[in-house]
Amino acid sequence: MKLRHHDIGGYARFITFCTHTRIPILIDDIYCNIIFNSINSARETQSFKLIGYVIMPEHIHLVIIPENNLPVGRLVGNIKEFSSKEIHKFFEIDKPGIIKRFTVIRNRLERFSFWQRRCFDFNCRSESSMWEKVNYCHNNPVVRKLVRFPGEWQYSSYNWYDGQTNVKLKMDSI
């Protein structure tokens, strides 16, 4: 069954995607920098505004505004494909033993699968709903007790909104 995305132009989208079997590996600068590069690469080739994000140990939340009827599935697929290839390269060199944890059998073939196949997305039908999702991103590490204050988590857009300029991803204006 194909997961349907309701791509409604002009609305912010709250997107979530997870590592394969929710393996909590996104706590290392190496992997997170690959994710940042993947998002920036997608920003160069696809038309969307990044409003907020958080990288958690086993999943990512993005708040974006797609432009020009950009299908969210294609955008997420590009981010996942680019990051998966780069992480796989790193694993082959520095952590070959971990590759088995990310191996699946599809169509009778073994494949490396860093990400789960699908993603969840939610249409934010108002500006307040969009900011609610951005705040959810920022507070997620606090709720999970990874940090005491959102600004302590370096893998979110919180510090951008706090006025810091030395951040991994800059947010777009609405």
Fold classification of 12-161 is Alpha-Beta Plaits (3.30.70)
How do the domains of the chain map onto residue ranges? 12-161
Taking the CA atoms of the chain, what radius of gyration do you get in angstroms?
Answer: 16
pLDDT the model gives residue 1: 44
Whole-model pTM over 0.85: yes
pLDDT per residue rounded down to tens, the chain (174 residues): 444 545 556 689 999 999 999 999 999 999 999 999 999 999 999 989 999 999 999 999 999 999 888 889 999 999 999 999 999 999 999 888 899 999 888 888 888 999 998 899 999 999 999 999 999 999 999 999 999 999 999 999 999 999 998 899 999 998
